[in-house]
Amino acid sequence: MSEAANSLVDRASALGIPVLIESEREMRRMSDHAEAPELIALEGHSSHSTLDELMDRDGLVFVLVGLRYPGNVGFIIRSAEVAGAAGVVLASDWEGSQLSEALRVGMRADRFFPVVESAAEVAIAAAQRAGRRVVALETAGAKAPWDADLTAATVVLVGSETMGIPATLLETADDIVRIPTRGFIPSYNVQAAVGMLLGEWLRQSVE
């Protein structure tokens, strides 16, 4: 880096501003320029957050209940960050290595927004305190995402493909939505289902 860039990095570090080292390709993609800049300043919320702070932010919050596969969780974390969601809550009894693998698969999207570990019941209580609607994404839903209002402050419950969302948590939901299917297999992979819901949220948000 140039002397000026090194000076700015030193000043940022001295002020407690996190400094991330990224590849040239990543810098080019984040800046949307043909040539990678030396530095990029990212403005926004901190990626570190308490549960209550997360629920007070703008955007969807996903609560992942009992998901077992780091690949599924990593994809959801990455997709949520790309779409501009507020953050993700992991409600799973994972060991550290599983979480590390999920974050790796998610392209370390936790650099840019919060990934918080919490029991689902505690996360739902925090969402309700913040005035968020609770929407469950579940095959038992009676409506499609495009028939639900996703523009309000919302937390989305997502369960595992094997066990789904526990009935006690479904009872807390203000709405239950499902992704329509036409084949014999009764549900999509959880990654695909969340991706479609994010697409609908973006569609509603720009109208």
pLDDT at 207 over 70: no
Residue located via tokens 């984040």: 30
Cα distance between residue 156 and residue 172, in whole Å: 11
- The average pLDDT across 156-167 equals 92
Q: For residues 92 and 137, state if they share a domain.
A: yes
Q: For residues 26 and 86, state if they share a domain.
A: no
Q: For residues 77 and 38, state if they share a domain.
A: no
Q: For residues 85 and 39, state if they share a domain.
A: no
Say what the pLDDT of residue 89 is: 97
Q: What DSSP state is assigned to residue 134?
A: E
Structure tokens at 32: 């949307």
pLDDT at 175 over 70: yes
Say what the pLDDT of residue 20 is: 72
Q: Count of residues for the chain?
A: 207
Q: For residues 36 and 63, state if they share a domain.
A: no
Say what the pLDDT of residue 172 is: 95
Locate all alpha helices (DSSP H) within 68-119, ordered by sequence.
70-83, 96-105
pLDDT at 41 over 80: no
pTM of the model: 0.83
Q: For residues 27 and 127, state if they share a domain.
A: no
CATH of the domain at 89: 3.40.1280.10
- Name 23's Cβ contacts closer than 8 Å, sequence gap at least 6: none
**pLDDT tens, position by position, 99-143:** 899 999 998 899 889 999 999 999 999 999 999 999 999 998 989
pLDDT at 45 over 70: no
What is the span of the domain harbouring residue 119? 51-206
Q: For residues 147 and 89, state if they share a domain.
A: yes
Say what the pLDDT of residue 95 is: 73
Q: For residues 32 and 71, state if they share a domain.
A: no
Cα(first)–Cα(last) distance of the chain, in Å? 42
Q: For residues 30 and 61, state if they share a domain.
A: no
Say what the pLDDT of residue 123 is: 97
Say what the pLDDT of residue 161 is: 83
- Name 189's Cβ contacts closer than 8 Å, sequence gap at least 6: 72, 161
Our count of domains for the chain comes to 2
Lowest mean pLDDT among 23-32, 72-81, 113-122, 152-161: 23-32
Q: For residues 29 and 72, state if they share a domain.
A: no
Q: For residues 25 and 59, state if they share a domain.
A: no
pLDDT at 9 over 80: no
Q: For residues 35 and 63, state if they share a domain.
A: no
